[in-house]
Amino acid sequence: MDSHVIDLRSDTVTRPTAGMVAAMMAARVGDDVYGDDPTVNQLQAVVAERAGKEAALFMPSGTQSNLAALMAHCERGDEYIVGQLGHTYKFEGGGAAVLGSIVPQPIEHDPDGSLPLAKVAAAIKPHGPGLGVHFARTRLLCLENTFNGKVLPAGYVREAAGFAHGKGLSVHLDGARVCNAAVAQGITLAEACAPFDSVSICCSKGLGAPVGSVLAGSREFIVRAHRWRKVLGGGMRQAGFLAAPGPGPCQRRAAGQGPGRHPGTHRRRASHQHGVREVPGAPLPAPGTALEGARDPGPDRTVGAAGHPPGRERGGHGRVRRGGEGLLQGEVMPPPRQPDLT
């Protein structure tokens, strides 16, 4: 990509810092399939502690982390309740059904990204002799925070988890960017994760590391997930080279040095949105989003060079071109890429 382009399509397109590369090169490694990679073990311990969980497991990707979680919670023929636009349902290849024989029960989101509890209640199937034999057994509720850049209200999260637990369901969080949600709400990571039985946290998104996710939960849960990681092909040998960049951001928070760069990231995003608002016809993110970039304006909206700050031209969806040519006056922005699917 052009070195003069700041790529704002997603936080997944970031590149490791020099410090991260140095950590990777200096990493102490072992065979993680046997559990003796010290760098992986360190990352798992740090994330478990920060998330307030008993144990954690390093995964190659968020997709595999979520899938291993679903398979650890559910048996073949069980059902999980999920949002119609949730990543585990729509953007992760249908793995729960294809590989886990788990039946998804999608329901529509409310505008704030939450799943209405009345719809959740209506989706829970009876189980047992009689009518219950006709249905897949409902075992799990899966939420996502942040959802399309929106932070789920903390009160709703507690209420939803309490309701699900009251119905005998476990609750999993696709928390790829839960660190961003915690910072936006002014709470700790442990507080953000507390209502959930399991949580998947991506190192390669808001935390800035190049590869990997970490799944956290009870020790018993992680034992089950560890087996499914191996079955899914996620058992890696000297994985410490991949895990090495991860402990840095987590350890800074563990040492009480604050939430790292997340507040600054949020401020820059708000500043970027404010600047875009001043551009005639520019697309705007939905209100209330934490880190959502500009959206496709559609065929009836245009973006021109007029109105941009001097020397800074918009150069396509999610990109700011410094000193570049930008878009021609009246040129329609190209459609955005699909959201990150990892």
pLDDT in tens, 98-134: 999 999 999 999 999 999 999 999 999 998 999 999 9
pTM, to two decimals: 0.79
Instruction: Enumerate domains of the chain plus CATH numbers.
Output: 14-254 (3.40.640.10), 261-322 (no CATH)
- Note the pLDDT of residue 204: 87
The owner of tokens 């793995």 is 95
Query: In which element (H, E) is residue 276 found?
Result: helix 262-277
Cis peptide before 17 (omega within 30 of 0): no
Phi, psi of 237 (to 5 degrees): -85, -100
133's CB contacts (< 8 A; 6+ apart) are none
Residue 320: what pLDDT? 40
Over residues 37-51, mean pLDDT: 96
The model's pLDDT over 198-234, given as tens digits with 9 standing for 90+, comes to: 999 999 887 778 899 999 999 999 999 999 999 999 9
Residue 143 is classified by DSSP as E
Q: Is pLDDT of 136 > 50? A: yes
State CA 198 to chain mean position distance.
13
Counting residues of the chain whose pLDDT is more than 90, the rounded percentage is: 62
Nearest to 207 by CA among 22, 20, 36: 20
